[in-house]
Amino acid sequence: MATRETMMGVRDLQGMIDNVKRGRLSRRGFIRRMAAVGLTAPMAMQLLAMGGVAMAQPNSDYKPTKRGGGGTLKLLWWQAPTLINPHFATGTKDQDASYLFYEPLAVWDADAQLAPKLAAEIPTQQNGGLSADGKSVTWKLKQGVKWHDGQDFTADDVVFNWQYASDPATAAVTAGVYKAMQVEKLDDHTVKITFDQPTPFWASPFVGAYGMIIPKHVFEPYIGAKSRQAPANLAPIGTGCYKFKEFHPGDIVTGVINADYHEPNRPFFDAVEMKGGGEAASAARAVLQTGEYDFAWNLQVADNVLKQLEEGGKGRIQLTKGASIEHIQLNSTDPNKEVDGERSSITTVHPTFSDPAVRQAIKLLIDRASVQKYIYGRTGETTANYVNGPAQFVSKNTSWQFDIAKAKALLDQAGYKPGPDGIRVKDGKKLDYVFQTSINQPRQQTQEIVKAACKQAGININIKAVLSSVYFSSDAGNPDTYPKFYADIQMYTTQPGQPDPGTWMRSFLSTEIADKANKWSGRNITRWRNAEYDKTWNAAAVEVDPVKRAALLIKCNDLVIDDVVVIPAIFRFGVAGVAKNLHAALTGWDNDPSNISEWFKDETA
């Protein structure tokens, strides 16, 4: 019976693919039907390609007919970049600065489709790029592409990036993307990736923010233990539409037009300036109200303030929906105990968060409805999940509630009694915590909402607000960065950066712990370790059945939520301030500047 049902499913699938070929069913309609059974948009498109349907060309509304002439593109990033090497970018702002100069083989567009950058085409089974067994991908590279110093871009550069990132001594943030595979050069403009096991989501290595490619001839002397000493970490030599001019870490990075850029009539602008620092509200004002800048990134500003600023008439808010989650992390280790020069060491456990009752109580004290209503408005939604997109990966097994009385009852039952100062204590361990995040009005407002509820339950919250340039710094020597997690609780936003959460969910693997040994470049910031999670994620990594794979990744989400490793605060939309005459090609599935070569302004404002 199972075989008969499976065969019927295959016949139905083939029938739909044939209908797309004949024009009886649109690609969008096919993708919607596939999503209903747990298939991501990229995988649905891969099925079409395997079935002989030509790949759709990525949408572009780019109008300029010549390169340059657009003046300077002025960008505001209120979190300032601290280095420009995508393999060491622990924060989005460092990835974004890298995107001004570096490129991957492909990026994700707004429709969750792959758009070629350094690739000549997107691999499909039809063009020989994808193997039928899911174990290899062959990329054909664009010819005639040059690095900014005039050297040719070749397959040797692609292979080198795999070697560089996968070398443990390099301590690259991107290391997890390049594990369990081999990359070989077939010729000067062809590379083949062979995965150790069938890999259902193959479009992760060399794609998107974690796939930007650095030049072999510049970085080869610094592979491994010397990786942080490379001068090009601060002075990039890429293939992108802008060439590096100058960089002041924590302040500003500038570039000039690449007259030899490999895409015709691009870029529109003669120069680019990314100004960093400050805070989100002033960045919003500089675009929406005064018009001093063309674009402001990640406007985490109360929605009522944004609406007032939009009345200035100089700019508009542009929303993009992806899977960004503002979340609260609970430290699994002890941030106050030092072991061999390292706090929050994996050899320690948190004095009170090691008690599930305390974690569950904290979860009940997060007033998500108020965070959404009074702070984020149209720019976010309440959620019980860490993974909030694409739809087929969103769990329906979770729920959330705000209940101070229930939290108090849990703590009472667990033996935590209020002391003379009103703070609960058990066996000499007080529920007295440091809650850190970056300096940003909505985040401080969220901290205050959490603090007020916790106080009613007998938990004391000490608010710590860190400069964004410090908190999100990639400097391994900085004690106040979020990867160090030298606090009990912390909060920030993260996102998968692609329309599939698989790689992103490495963030909770036991093998990805951020620690002193890897210069805090590991993705597991909470230091949580769970054998069932590891087993489930590893199974998802090789599961080729899309429905089964989605179920496994949903289980990963549920394990993290149920054990209160993180507490979702708000499902955030991408919020950018954009000058009224600027066309910014944004996507919810990649970083804002990922397709910056497509940005332009109307001739008449």
- Dist CA 77 CA 284 (whole Å): 10
Enumerate residues 6+ apart whose C-beta is below 8 A from 599.
73, 267, 268, 269, 582, 583, 584, 585
* Residues 503 and 210: beta-carbon distance below 8 Å: yes
Element at 381 (helix H, strand E): strand 380-381
The Cα 125–Cα 185 span in angstroms is 19
Termini Cα distance of the chain: 65
Residue 114: beta bridge partners?
A: 108
Q: Is the per-residue pLDDT at 120 higher than 70?
A: yes
Summarised one tens digit per residue, pLDDT across range 179-221 is: 999 999 999 999 999 999 988 889 999 999 999 999 999 999 9
CA–centroid distance for 404 within its chain: 33
Work out whether the CA dihedral 404, 408, 413, 414 comes out positive or negative: positive
Please give the average per-residue pLDDT across 312-320, as a whole number. Answer: 93
**Rounded CA gap, 231 and 233, in Å?**
5
pLDDT at 47: 61
pLDDT tens string 379-402: 999 999 999 998 889 999 999 999
State the CB neighbour count (10 A cutoff) for residue 415. 12
Rounded distance between C-alpha atoms, residue 123 and residue 193, angstroms: 11
Residue 4: pLDDT band (50, 70, 90) is very low
**Does the pLDDT of residue 29 top 80, yes or no?**
no
Gap between the Cα atoms of 306 and 7, Å rounded: 54
Q: Minimal CA–CA distance to 579: which of 283, 332, 249?
A: 283
Q: What amino acid occupies position 18?
A: D
Cis peptide before 501 (omega within 30 of 0): no
* pLDDT for res 150: 98
Helix (H, G, I), strand (E, B) or coil at 183: strand
Tokens 């209160």 locate to 564
| Cis preceding-peptide flag for 335 (omega within 30 of 0) | no
Residue 164 clears pLDDT 90, i.e. is over it: yes
**Could you tell me which of 236, 18, 204, 4 has the C-alpha nearest to residue 105?**
204
pLDDT of residue 10: 47
Percent of the chain with pLDDT strictly greater than 70: 91
Rounded mean pLDDT, 257-283: 95
5: confidence class by pLDDT, cuts 50, 70, 90:
very low
Query: What confidence tens digit (pLDDT) does each residue in 432-470 have?
Result: 999 999 998 999 999 999 999 999 999 999 999 999 889
What integer best gives the mean pLDDT of the chain?
Answer: 92
pLDDT at 6 over 60: no
Domains of the chain: 2-50 (no CATH), 72-314+580-601 (3.40.190.10), 323-572 (3.10.105.10)
**Pairing between β-strand 190-195 and β-strand 181-187 as defined by DSSP bridges:** antiparallel
Q: How long a stretch of residues is the chain?
A: 605
Mean pLDDT of 18-32: 69
Helices (H), 196-321: 216-219, 280-288, 303-310
Q: Would you give the distance in Å from CA 198 to the centre of its chain?
A: 24
Rg (alpha carbons) of the chain, rounded to whole number: 24
Over residues 317-331, the mean pLDDT reads 95
540 contacts: CB under 8 Å, gap ≥ 6 = 502, 505, 549, 552, 553, 556
Residues 319 and 376 sit within 8 Å (Cβ to Cβ): no
- Residues with Cβ < 8 Å from 568, sequence gap 6 or more? 325, 326, 327, 328, 368, 383, 384, 385, 386, 400, 561
Q: By the 8 A CB rule, do 191 and 163 touch? A: no
Strand pairing class (106-108; 114-116): antiparallel
CA-wise closest residue to 118 among 215, 183, 44: 215
Mean pLDDT across 532-539? 97
Using the predicted structure, report yes or no on whether residue 259 has a pLDDT greater than 60.
yes
What does the DSSP assignment read for 433-478?
EEEEEES-HHHHHHHHHHHHHHHHTT-EEEEEEE-HHHHT---TT-
Please give the Cα distance from 237 to 235 (Å, whole number): 7
